[in-house]
Structures are given as structure tokens and as C-alpha cells.
Amino acid sequence: MISQLAQNGAVKNKFAHCLDNVDGGGIFAIGEVVGPQMNKTKMIAGQSHYKITLKEVHIGDTIVKLETSFFGSIDENAAIIDSGTTLAYLPTTIHEQVIKKITSGKSLEMEKIEGHFSCFKYDKNVDDEFPVIKLLFKDSLVLTVYPHDYLFRFRDDMRCIGWQDGGPKSPDDSEMILLGDLVLSNKLVIYDIENQTIGWAEYNCTSSVKVKNGNTEYSVGYHVVSSASSFTIGGILAFLFILYSFTSLFCIA
């Protein structure tokens, strides 16, 4: 439907989302978002997902350089940006380094919640104790993921690690790095399908964005879809379902 509107000239073949990680709401806009300034990177051509080229991963002061051979020859350095996925998935070798750096030097009693979330009790400010993780993409696009983003609150006294193990790399497996909304929260993410680019910038997702379609300019505001008082996995599922339903209608190619 949206792609048909774009073909008919009713809207620009562009969209944006901004997810708040406190109340589980956010902004979803169709068309050309006016500002803010941001870096953008080209999508990898001929793909069925929104894929961009990843160069490095920084875990605090540790740099994980991604060699071409690590990804194989089919989909070199590919990371999928997927608004329909809640968490973030990394290949085992990178995931192990991330978890080691996150937990190093801390007395954390880890426990499994719901069978697969690695969680621990913590009532302090996570930004004071845990490392910032940066993903560096082609064209100088950087995704900065703060501890309060990737350590989601399960209960008031419980934090869970949002980085998941995507498994080992196989020769035909191109979907080894999958970045969902947990690491994209508090950012305005813009998908420019016309020019095949993706970009983002830090943003107050409880505010609004200006959208321009033709000569018309209007504001799209924040919507709360959950009554949760803190960010939980369940608290954003409704928003992600709506978001995924719309974004899946866009033509990538």
C-alpha cells in the first residue's frame, strides 16, 4: 500500500521511526522527515532486508575489527537493521567478547529468565558501571549503544542483557548480525528507499518530527502503546508489531 502511494507520487518512498525505551511508545512517520542532520550510509544492493556495511565494533576501549574473511564472500560485513526484531543478535565470537567485557570485574549473579535471557539483580545506574558499545559502519555512520539501551529492565531490581548469541558463522549464513529496536531506541532512524540509504541521530522520541510530502509539511507525534512504567520486552511488542506491519510494505529494491 505504501509503496503504491510512493509510486503514485502521494508520498516519498521514505519512512522513519523513533522508539522510546521508557514507556514503550514512539514515533512512526511516512514521508520525508525534515531534520535533524545525520550521517547516512548506503544499503547493500540487491538484498531482501535493510543491510548496511559494518566496519568495526568498539566495546568500551576494546576494538573488534571485522575482517572480510570473517563474514565470507557472499555478504561481506553485512548487518541487518530490522525494526521488526526486538533484541540484537551477534555472531558467537563477537557475542562472547561483548559479554566478557560487560561482566568483567563485576560481582554479578547471572540467572536465566524465561529460558534464554541472561539477567542479574542491579539497582544502580548502569551507565556508570558498564561500557558503551559502538558499531562503526561505512560512510562514518556510528551506532552508539549505551548501557541503559542494551541492559533492559525486566523488573525494578533486575536487568537483562539484550545482546543475544546469533550462533556461529556458516558459509551460507548471511544474517549473522541482526540489530533490532533495543539498540535503535532513543534514535530517529530514517530509511530512504528512493536513495537506498539509512541514517540515524540521537533524538527525543517522546517529542515529534516534521514530515514533508510535496508542498505539505506537518508534525507526527509520539504515541504510547503500553502502560508499562519501564522498558520491558513485553512493553514494546505492540509498537513493534505495528511498525513491522508498515515497514514490510515498503519496496527495498
Instruction: Quote the CA–CA distance of 19 and 13 in Å, as a whole number.
Output: 21
CA distance 22 to 26: 10
Please, which pLDDT band fits residue 235 given cuts at 50, 70 and 90? very low
Rounded to 5 degrees, φ, ψ at 162 are: -80, -15
The H or E element containing residue 19 is: strand 14-19
pLDDT tens-place string over residues 5-46: 666 666 789 999 999 887 778 999 999 999 889 999 999 998
Query: pLDDT of 139-190, one tens digit each?
Result: 999 999 999 999 998 887 899 999 999 887 655 554 469 999 899 999 999 9
Cα 205 → chain centroid: 14
Distance of CA 248 to CAs 1, 190, 242, Å? 10, 15, 10
Is the pLDDT confidence value at 234 over 60? Answer: no
Q: Which three cell numbers stand for residue 131?
A: 561500557
Among candidates 33, 36, 55, which has minimal Cα distance to 139?
A: 55
Please report where in the chains the cell 575482517 appears, as a residue. 67
Cell 506491519 belongs to: 245
Sign of the dihedral defined by the CA atoms of residues 5, 248, 198, 183, in that order: positive
More confident of the two residues 123 and 224 = 123
C-beta separation of 178 from 167 below 8 A: no
- 4 or 196: which leads in pLDDT: 196
Fold of 2-247: Cathepsin D, subunit A; domain 1 (2.40.70)
Say if residues 93 and 67 touch (Cβ distance below 8 Å): no
Determine the pLDDT at residue 7: 67
Cβ neighbours, 10 Å, residue 188: 25
115 phi and psi angles, rounded to 5 deg? 90, -20
Residue ranges per domain, the chain?
2-247
Q: What amino acid is encoded at 187 in this protein?
A: K
pLDDT at 6: 63
In the predicted structure, residue 204 carries a pLDDT above the cut 70: yes
Q: Which pairs count as long-range contacts for 62-68, CB under 8 Å and 24+ apart, including other chains? A: 62/97, 62/101, 64/94, 64/97
pLDDT at 236: 45
Q: What's the rounded Cα separation, in Å, for the pair 113 and 119? A: 7
Mean pLDDT of 221-229: 66
Q: Taking the alpha carbons of 28, 7, 212, 80 in that order, is the dihedral positive or negative?
A: positive
Question: What pLDDT does 147 receive?
Answer: 96
Q: With pLDDT > 70 as the criterion, what percentage of the chain qualifies?
A: 77
Non-local (6+) Cβ contacts of 5 within 8 A are 11
Q: What is the pLDDT of residue 10?
A: 62
- The better pLDDT of the pair 4, 131 is held by 131
Torsions phi, psi for 23 (to 5 deg): -100, 0
Q: Are 148 and 126 in contact (CB under 8 A)?
A: yes
